[in-house]
Amino acid sequence: MHPSHEQHLGKLNRVSGQVDAVKRMIGDKKYCVDIMIQIKAIRNALKSIEMGILESHMHTCLTHACQADKTQNPDLQHREIERIIKLLKKYD
């Protein structure tokens, strides 16, 4: 069973509001540092959501892959681990 990520919707809505606020700040020609502070807050919020989803994936999808019947799907565990490694390599 695939995990639900609905608990992150509230946070994503807040991030969306923060992005709109940054757009207004830019339109209002606000101070550069103030804009960058808001952008950093957005990045941190997104990182928190991202890590929550990754943690959920590891507790559900990866656990399922590790417990799967190796005779029916011998590469499932390896594929799931490789997906996570590939994803983590993309981080800056």
Phi, psi at residue 52, to the nearest 5°? Answer: -65, -40
The pTM is what? 0.78
Residue 1 has pLDDT above 70, yes or no: no
pLDDT at 43 over 70: yes
* C-alpha to C-alpha distance for 25 and 27, rounded to whole angstroms: 5
Q: What is the pLDDT of residues 4-34, one digit of tens each?
A: 889 999 999 999 999 999 999 999 999 999 9
First to last CA, the chain: 31
3-class SS at 72? Answer: coil
pLDDT at 3 over 90: no
